[in-house]
Each structure stands twice: as structure tokens, then as C-alpha cells.
Amino acid sequence: GDSVTQMEGPVTLSEEAFLTINCTYTATGYPSLFWYVQYPGEGLQLLLKATKADDKGSNKGFEATYRKETTSFHLEKGSVQVSDSAVYFCAPAYGGATNKLIFGTGTLLAVQP
């Protein structure tokens, strides 16, 4: 069935380090791709999205490019801050008209000052 695989955490980085969180998905159909973020004690927030091949989603310094050939949507940020500490979820939207999100297990990012 439809699935997504995310890099396991926790990922611990120092402030201003470069971040990559890997995400690959199964290639059933042509899903739209999303990254959501969950800050401590808060609900899920949409971080960025891409809807077709080679699209780049970006927000708050984070970027991810829809790579159809490798079925990947890796999240990157050039310089992380302590305030980026959160759990990050990769989520393709499958199901045709349903557009249900299939979430990965999440990657905990801890940024140290």
C-alpha cells in the first residue's frame, strides 16, 4: 500500500548547522507532497508543500524539492535555530479525490545553542 519512509531521529544539531531530513514515498499515482511540523505542546502545522515534479516548496528557510525520479522529498535548511526544535513529518497525499495524508513516523530535531 501507500507508504512513506522518513529518516529516523532524533537528529541533534548545533545552532547554524545544515539540516537534511530524508523522506521517500511509494510511487502510487502522483501524490502531492507535504512537510508538517509539530512544536512541543502544539498541534501540527503545515510547513511547505509541492504538487508536481521538480516543484520546490519553501517556508521559514526550509526547502524541499519534489523528486519524481527518486520518489523523494527531502527537507533542508541551511542554518537551523534553537526555535526549529520540533518533530517533522513528511506526508504525501494519496487516494485520488480523498487526498488523505499518509504520515511518516516523524523525525525529532533537537537544536542546541
Partner 1 sequence: DTGVSQDPRHKITKRGQNVTFRCDPISEHNRLYWYRQTLGQGPEFLTYFQNEAQLEKSRLLSDRFSAERPKGSFSTLEIQRTEQGDSAMYLCASSLGGVAGVTYEQYFGPGTRLTVT
Q: What is the rounded CA–CA span in Å between residue 67 and residue 10?
A: 24
- Which of 25, 35, 36, 73 touches partner 1 (CB under 8 A)? 36
Which residues ranging from 40 to 79 are in contact with partner 1 (CB under 8 A)? 42-46, 49, 51
Locate the DSSP E strands across 1-113. Answer: 4-6, 11-14, 19-21, 23-25, 32-38, 44-50, 56-59, 62-65, 75-77, 86-94, 100-101, 107-112
- Which of 28, 32, 58, 72 touches partner 1 (CB under 8 A)? 32
Q: Is residue 100 a contact residue for partner 1 (CB under 8 A)?
A: yes
Which residues contact partner 1 by CB under 8 A? 32, 34, 36, 42-46, 49, 51, 89, 91, 93, 95, 97-106
